[in-house]
Structure 1
Amino acid sequence: MSLPRYKVTMLALTVGLATAFVGCSSNPKKDVVDTGPKSNEQTYYNNAMKSLDRGQYGDAAKALEEMDTYFPTGQYAQQAQLELLYTKFKQKDYEGTLALADRFIRLNPQHPNLDYVYYIRGVSNMEQNYDSLLRYTSLKQSHRDVGYLKVAYQNFVDLIRRFPSSQYSVDAAQRMKFIGQELAESEMNAARFNIKRKAYLAAVERSQWIIEHFPQTPQVPEALATMAYGYDKLGDKATSQQYIEILKLNYPHLVKSNGEVNLRAARREASWVNRVTLGIVGRSDKADISSSESQNTVEKNAQSTEQKSSLLNKLSFGILDRSDREVSHEPARADESLYDSQRKQ
């Protein structure tokens, strides 16, 4: 039985196209021949520095990578690796930055600028925790994955332990303080969820972790209130009362007149009118004032740096016109004297 003419035509066209594609894919690509360095090491380095000064990070990275390839033991080898580390960070290639940092630490364990490498490694992990959306909004990263923040925190711990007098240690300590608040808020957010689903033991454990590991964070009052509330729900009235007594001494506004925990005040939850109007109307300023009067010094300082969101920020659910309340994520460049001494040679 013969096929209709149009089917024969379609079959022929299909076979012909398939053959053409196979033929094209089988053509070998022309090999790129490496002709070696196009200039000496000094010229490569000077060109890279000029590109860096102009903010042309792509050109700088290309020159520095060629230096790393053609002059791995040259006069500027280690310096070029440091420059490339900084350049990759400026290109927001954080994975590349981390790979270069790990390699530099492994190959140059006694380098005088090793503290800078530890520092930029921590900042890179910190940056990886913020995706393209969160970077431009006031949405809380602490309510999402904080894996890279934990790694960054440990990076800064390593830096301060190994180089306590480093010029980067002060900035690292500030970043650790910020990360600590983010990690505490992440645990507190999980505790709130556990309270909502009546998993009181899990909520107590999350809150206890905050008090043990980050006792100077603003989440401590809510953590204490959650523990008092959780133990009461678990039937452990004695332990619950102990935490209520602590709240009475330190945060009396979190205990109601009848002796019960005011969990809503601990969370600083607004009224339903305030929530429906996206925070525009119905906010209780008196509660905020009484709360701020009873907070410790660290929490007062944290609250004083927090700016109120604008109307546009509230109406756009925190996406537009955010206030920059976070620490700066831009790292300092390595010691400039090191660069100047190399350039003068």
Structure 2
Amino acid sequence: MTPLSLFQRIGRAFSITCACLLLAACGTTKTPTDPTAGWTAERLYQDAKAEMSAGNWAQARTRLEQVEARYPFGIYAQQALIDQAYINWKDEEPEQALAAIDRFQKQYPNHPGSDYMLYLKGLISFTPPSASLMKFTMQDPSERDPKGLSESYEAFMQLIERYPDSRYANDARLRARWLVNTIAQNEVHVAEYYYSRHAYVAAINRAQRVITDFQGVPIAERALYIMYLSYDKLGQTELRDDIKRVMDQNYPNSEYFKTGLKKKVNYWNPINWF
């Protein structure tokens, strides 16, 4: 036997031995078992609630998804969807939370928890993930993109109109009232921007929207003053004087004629909502 053939035989034998050991190892490896296999819907849900209480959002979400997947037609599946919306909101996943609410409203339009879901929908848009940063920067909420503010207002108004006796209705009314003021103030911010850029017609149009669409809001005084200034810049003295008469009648002690637009208005953080 040549040295080469001997080495070939040894190598071949070693390969066969390794293959056999590998097969043996595979045969003894156990497939990981699901510790929740066989759990009832109630047990899965109670475990999810325990994880929620501990603030373990990821684990709670997993359990709630298991409830929905394994027991899709029971009462626990309905409650699991409600809790998923809440968990996603607390875990700063607003889009997933809103998706869960939308799915719930389509699947269970007459559910007793529908008022809560509308309330939660309003809260999600009311307090975006950036709210925690706004708390430190003291940014005026009216400087935010008004889309979220409007969506929040619509959700709260639906709750108030459809469920006036809901336990969430009073808080929704307070928030809706604040939102009206804040959305109106956003319009004034835009009007001021146009005025500072000498776009006086655009400034008038924006300020006019506050007067017509948000009657009675505190920021209306500032909106009227922007209209007064803009008409003056355009040389439309009759319209300017009309605005002056309206302001004298409704705001006889208006400070704007003394301070101009330097006076700032900030509706920051009403009753610690953020």
Shorter-chain TM-score range: 0.7 to 0.9
CA deviation string 1:223-266 (max 9, x = no partner): 111112222222322221111112222323447xxxxx727445
CA distance in 1, matches of 2:33, 2:241: 76
**Counterpart code for 1:268:** K
Counterparts in 2 of 1:164-243, with a 5 A limit? 164-243=164-243
Matched, 1:148 2:148: yes
SS at match of 1:101: helix
Matched, 1:109 2:134: no
1:262 corresponds to: 257
CA distance in 2, matches of 1:146, 1:33: 50
CA distance in 2, matches of 1:129, 1:92: 6
CA deviation string 1:5-56 (max 9, x = no partner): xxxxxxxxxxxxxxxxxxxxxxxxxxx9996952221211111122222333
2:139 corresponds to: 139
2:269 corresponds to: 325
**TM-score scaled by length of structure 2:** 0.79
CA distance in 1, matches of 2:173, 2:96: 24
Compared with structure 1, are the counterparts of its residues 34 and 157 closer, same or farther at alpha carbon in structure 2 (3 Å cutoff)? Answer: farther
* Cα distance, 1:267 vs structure 2: 4.4
* Cα distance, 1:67 vs structure 2: 0.8
- The unaligned stretches of length 5 or more in structure 1 are 1-31, 256-260, 270-301, 307-323, 331-345
**Counterpart code for 1:192:** E
Q: What percent of counterpart residues are identical?
A: 29
SS at match of 2:270: coil
2:130 corresponds to: 130
**1:222–1:267 contact (8 Å) kept in structure 2:** no
Compared with structure 1, are the counterparts of its residues 129 and 226 closer, same or farther at alpha carbon in structure 2 (3 Å cutoff)? Answer: farther
**Counterpart code for 1:138:** M
Compared with structure 1, are the counterparts of its residues 207 and 193 closer, same or farther at alpha carbon in structure 2 (3 Å cutoff)? Answer: same
1:70 corresponds to: 70
CA distance in 1, matches of 2:162, 2:201: 39
CA distance in 1, matches of 2:52, 2:82: 12
* Cα distance, 1:143 vs structure 2: 2.2
**Counterpart code for 1:153:** Y
Compared with structure 1, are the counterparts of its residues 228 and 129 closer, same or farther at alpha carbon in structure 2 (3 Å cutoff)? Answer: farther
2:5 corresponds to: none
**TM-score scaled by length of structure 1:** 0.63
CA distance in 2, matches of 1:89, 1:56: 13
**Counterpart code for 1:237:** T
**Counterpart code for 1:325:** N
**2:92–2:129 contact (8 Å) kept in structure 1:** no
CA distance in 2, matches of 1:149, 1:129: 14
CA deviation string 1:297-335 (max 9, x = no partner): xxxxx99xx7xxxxxxxxxxxxxxxxx7335447xxxxx
CA deviation string 1:75-119 (max 9, x = no partner): 411122222222222212111110000000000011111111111
**Counterpart code for 1:326:** P
- The unaligned stretches of length 5 or more in structure 2 are 1-30
Q: Which has the higher helix share?
A: 2
SS at match of 2:226: helix
SS at match of 1:252: coil
Compared with structure 1, are the counterparts of its residues 55 and 326 closer, same or farther at alpha carbon in structure 2 (3 Å cutoff)? Answer: same
What is the count of residue pairs matched by the alignment? 243
CA distance in 2, matches of 1:107, 1:36: 30
1:247 corresponds to: 247
Instruction: Please tell me whether Structure 1 or Structure 2 has the larger radius of gyration of its CA atoms.
Output: 2
SS at match of 1:227: helix
Compared with structure 1, are the counterparts of its residues 91 and 64 closer, same or farther at alpha carbon in structure 2 (3 Å cutoff)? Answer: same
Matched, 1:84 2:84: yes
Q: Which deviates more, 232-241 or 196-205?
A: 232-241
SS at match of 2:127: helix
Counterparts in 2 of 1:281-320, with a 5 A limit? none
CA distance in 2, matches of 1:127, 1:87: 15
